[in-house]
């Protein structure tokens, strides 16, 4: 699982990882409206709040969380089907969701991605031009809390600093390969 604040580069890292490692990627459902850069069925399955709660009532989520006032959930069946076929599944989720998955699958690998520093994170959030100014401020405040919490938590197997994309991807590829060989 890749966890980390908004704007830290999780999606870019995920895309690179799925290209280099044999990993399945699941599309989360969210009540967050579509934003520039979102591609239906690729980034998110955008649903209404009612639909999200219908799916939740039917126990269709492996985990779910409320993040920045919107709901996000990993659909259970695609992920479990992949695991049944002994394929590793990459989840790009928030801390609350990651802890729920960790509880159900203690053997899951949890990697927290850190920005090099706070000003760089703020610049990345601003430069991607996707969120409004209040959204950016909310995400930045949440990020500082999340980073603080992650650093003080023992839940994460690894913390990787994304100061250089190639280096961060290389580090994670090494971590996943090591985990696979220790499991074999
Ligand atoms: P964004 O709106 O920027 O795409 O995502 C906001 C946050 O929600 C990010 O931290 C992202 O990792 C998290 N997120 C995306 N999908 C899921 C999910 O299925 N479950 C959980 N718990 N968090 C998610």
Residues in Cβ contact with 110 at an 8 Å cutoff, skipping those fewer than 6 apart:
1, 3, 98, 102, 155, 156, 157, 158
User: How many Å apart are CA 103 and CA 138, to the nearest integer?
Assistant: 28
Over residues 85-110, the pLDDT tens digits come to 999 999 999 999 999 999 999 999 99
Look at the chain and report how many structural domains it folds into: 1
Residue 174 pLDDT greater than 90, yes or no = yes
Computed from CA positions of residues 137, 66, 53, 51, in that sequence, does the dihedral angle turn out positive or negative? positive
Residue 147 pLDDT greater than 80, yes or no = yes
Return the CATH number at 102: 3.40.50.300
Task: Ligand 1 pocket test: pick from 93, 98, 104, 112 the residue with the most ligand atoms within 8 Å of its Cβ.
Answer: 93
Q: How far is the CA of 182 from the centre of ligand 1 (A)?
A: 29
Q: How far is the CA of 170 from the centre of ligand 1 (A)?
A: 23
pLDDT of residue 41: 73
pLDDT of residue 176: 96
The closest residue, in CA terms, to atom 1 on ligand 1 is 6
Over residues 40-88, the pLDDT tens digits come to 777 899 999 999 999 999 999 999 999 989 999 999 999 999 999 999 9
Domain, as residue range, for 25: 2-183
Q: Check pocket membership of 32 for ligand 1, CB cut-off 6 A.
A: yes
The closest residue, in CA terms, to atom 10 on ligand 1 is 94
Say what the pTM is: 0.93
Q: Check pocket membership of 146 for ligand 1, CB cut-off 6 A.
A: no
């Amino acid at each position: 699982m890749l966890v980390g604040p908004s704007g830290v580069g999780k999606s870019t890292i995920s895309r690179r990882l799925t290209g280099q490692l044999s990993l399945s990627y699941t599309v989360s459902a969210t009540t967050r409206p579509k934003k520039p850069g979102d591609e239906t069925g690729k980034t998110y399955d955008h649903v209404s709040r009612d639909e999200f709660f219908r799916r939740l009532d039917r126990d269709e989520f492996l985990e779910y969380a409320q993040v920045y006032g919107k709901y996000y959930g990993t659909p259970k069946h695609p992920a479990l089907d992949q695991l049944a076929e002994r394929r590793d599944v990459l989840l790009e989720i928030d801390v609350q969701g990651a802890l729920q998955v960790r509880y159900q699958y203690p053997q899951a690998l949890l990697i927290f991605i850190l920005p090099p520093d706070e000003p760089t994170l703020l610049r990345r959030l601003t430069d991607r031009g996707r969120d409004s100014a209040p959204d950016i401020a909310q995400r930045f405040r949440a990020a500082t809390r999340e980073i603080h919490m992650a650093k003080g938590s023992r839940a994460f197997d690894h913390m990787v600093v994304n100061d250089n994309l190639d280096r961060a991807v290389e580090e994670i590829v090494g971590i996943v390969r090591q985990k696979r060989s220790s499991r074999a």
